Amino acid sequence: MVIYMKYELVAGLETHIELSTKTKLFCGCTTEFGGEQNAHCCPICIGLPGTLPKINGAAIDYTIMAGLATNCEISLYSRMDRKNYVYPDLPKAYQVSQFDFPLCKNGFIELSSGKKIRINRIHLEEDAGKLVHKNGDVYVDYNRGCIPLIEVVTEPDFRSADEILEYIEKLRLTIKNIGVSDCKMQEGSMRCDVNISVRPFGAEKFGTRTEIKNMNSITFIGKAIEYEYARQCELLDEGGKVVQETLHYIESENITTSARDKEDAQDYRYFPEPDIVPIVTTAKRVEELRQSLPENPFVRMVRFESDYGIAAEDAKIIVRYKLIADFFEDSVKNIKSPRNAANLIISSLFRRMPTETEKEDFSYRIDAAHFNELLTLLDEGKLSANQAKTLFEKMLDENKSPHAYLTEADLTAPDDGEIEKLCRDAVDNNQKSVEDYKAGKDKALQVLVGYVMKATKGKCDGALVKETILKMIS
């Protein structure tokens, strides 16, 4: 991101996340993605006169869980409100949302720098329908309408595009990890509105903000922020003024364009929703939901490094996909070298699941108990790393125990006496390599080790072979 020396970026985020309840917020219609247009609708969804909503209790629980996972205070009393505006995707001409009594408030997400991005509130609301532009006409699909949605609203704490992108990634992983949303940005179940302003460095007063609406690609969010920051800086340098407005980002041209004037809260004429009673929960219920939460993924990353000795980057990759992280942890019970599991998962398992969806759904099924048997054979030196990898590929195809592919002879490892004899043979038959090593050519030692490993078909401990040969030639 190009930094203009005179101006500081100030940004806040409003992230809309669809909840993974089976039915919609106020009715029994399915929340399943896709389907024929307007097939997942009923009179309540489209606001026909005389219909009455009934709030989905699971959506309330999911919202509280999202608040707990992001360090929010949970309100034991909250209520729904009507947010009034007229747009074709909103058939009632108002959206049922929360205004002054949200379910969650005063949370934060901590960045890798240690900076805490403050979360002002997380509130529950219904999603709107979707406008479909086709052949110059505009159609409305209400399938998405009334799906339960949380809006995570930050304070204007961001000072760079990198901070925003890290926050989105952390929020996405946190919410996915607790199972309340799949956060599939490509399907629109997670969308971001970015509020951006600039001000002279050192100034306390915020500049006039613009809002880039409904972005569902992390890559394009970064590009849109960079463009809008530069646009506002250049406009101010030329003596112009930033106008408060809502913008759309045009991906093909990498520009933002004006959609409409930016509304403030008073423009929506909020008032309490008369058809839905206030939401009252108890401290006991909040604690039950807190206890139900899985381990925080970022805490889990650190634990994987410390408890299992795997590299930080490997821990980050594995923990990103909860089902695979669970599989890893189930597989390495009583295993001496969990790094072998991490290596096989990243090199073989991930290669078979090229898309994010496949990794998230863990589309290749293999029993953790079978994988544990394979890792145990590696620990015991009965298989080489290459043999284990070949065997793992077969197990992925057929989900069988490794013993289904091995004979007793395959699992017979040479004893210490045999290893010592083979090391002596390696030294006696490779005198040039011995001399090269003594002359300072460290790679020559690998020739000697390789001689023994080949003779045993990789069934012995390479470190032990190396140590034995060094004793012989030193």
- Kindly report, residue by residue over 102-129, the tens digit of the pLDDT: 999 999 999 999 999 999 999 999 999 9
Task: For residues 255 and 352, state if they share a domain.
Answer: no
Q: How far apart are CA 435 and CA 461, in angstroms?
A: 24
Q: How far apart are CA 84 and CA 276, in angstroms?
A: 16
**Whole-number average pLDDT of the chain:** 91
pLDDT tier for residue 361 given thresholds of 50, 70 and 90: confident
Q: How far apart are CA 426 and CA 414, in angstroms?
A: 15
Select from 124, 212, 138, 122 the least CA-distant residue to 171.
122
Please identify, among 392, 411, 430, the residue that sits at the C-terminal boundary of a domain: 411
Task: For residues 184 and 322, state if they share a domain.
Answer: no
Task: For residues 340 and 441, state if they share a domain.
Answer: no
pTM, two decimal places? 0.84
pLDDT tens profile 421-447: 888 888 988 898 888 888 888 888 888
Helix or strand or coil: residue 385? helix
At 462, which CATH number? 1.10.10.410
Token pair, residue 360, equals: 């998230």
Task: For residues 362 and 268, state if they share a domain.
Answer: no
Q: Which helix (H) or strand (E) holds 45?
A: none
pLDDT at 449: 86
- Angle 369-370-374 from CA coordinates, rounded to 5°: 115
Task: For residues 91 and 143, state if they share a domain.
Answer: yes
pLDDT at 130 over 60: yes
Q: Which helix (H) or strand (E) holds 378?
A: helix 368-379
pLDDT at 265: 64
Strand-pair category, 245-250 with 210-215? parallel
Q: How far is CA 8 from the centre of its chain?
A: 29
pLDDT at 160: 94
- Is 52 a member of any domain? yes
Query: Number of structural domains, the chain?
Result: 3
pLDDT tier for residue 413 given thresholds of 50, 70 and 90: low
- Is 1 a member of any domain? no
Q: How far apart are CA 92 and CA 78, in angstroms?
A: 22
Mean pLDDT of 250-272: 82
Residues 6+ apart with CB under 8 A from 292: 65
Residues 6+ apart with CB under 8 A from 42: 27, 28, 29
Task: For residues 402 and 424, state if they share a domain.
Answer: no
Transcribe 98-127 into DSSP letters. Answer: -SSS-SEEEEEEE-TTS-EEEEEEEEEEE-
Mean pLDDT of 397-411: 81
Q: How far apart are CA 316 and CA 311, in angstroms?
A: 9
Transcribe 314-328 into DSSP letters. Answer: HHHHHHTSHHHHHHH
Question: 467 vs 280, which has greater pLDDT?
Answer: 280
Please identify, among 371, 395, 411, the residue that sits at the C-terminal boundary of a domain: 411
Task: For residues 308 and 271, state if they share a domain.
Answer: no
pLDDT tens profile 31-82: 998 889 999 999 998 889 999 999 999 999 999 999 999 999 999 999 999 9
Domain around 243: 7-288
Token pair, residue 300, equals: 């889990």
Q: How far apart are CA 164 and CA 459, in angstroms?
A: 50
pLDDT at 206: 94
Select from 272, 271, 292 the least CA-distant residue to 58.
292
Q: How many CB atoms lie within 10 A of CB 463?
A: 9
pLDDT tier for residue 84 given thresholds of 50, 70 and 90: very high
Q: How far apart are CA 214 and CA 441, in angstroms?
A: 61
pLDDT at 422: 85
pLDDT tier for residue 270 given thresholds of 50, 70 and 90: very high
Q: For 321, left (φ over 0), alpha (ψ -120 to 50), or beta?
A: beta
pLDDT at 211 over 70: yes
Task: For residues 274 and 175, state if they share a domain.
Answer: yes
Task: For residues 97 and 139, state if they share a domain.
Answer: yes
pLDDT at 462 over 80: no
- Is 440 a member of any domain? yes
pLDDT at 267: 80
Token pair, residue 161, equals: 């595009």
Mean pLDDT of 10-15: 97
Task: For residues 160 and 40, state if they share a domain.
Answer: yes
Task: For residues 64 and 81, state if they share a domain.
Answer: yes
pLDDT at 412: 62
Task: For residues 221 and 275, state if they share a domain.
Answer: yes
Please identify, among 260, 288, 316, the residue that sits at the C-terminal boundary of a domain: 288
Q: In this structure, what are the phi and psi dihedrals at residue 7, rounded to the nearest 5 degrees?
A: -125, 140
- Is 381 a member of any domain? yes
Q: How far apart are CA 62 and CA 35, in angstroms?
A: 25
% helix / strand / coil in the chain, to the nearest 5? 40, 20, 40
Q: Is the dihedral of CA 145, 149, 154, 158 positive or negative?
A: negative
Share of the chain above pLDDT 90, in %: 69
Helix axes 444-455, 462-473, angle to 10 degrees: 120
Q: How many CB atoms lie within 10 A of CB 399?
A: 12
- Is 2 a member of any domain? no
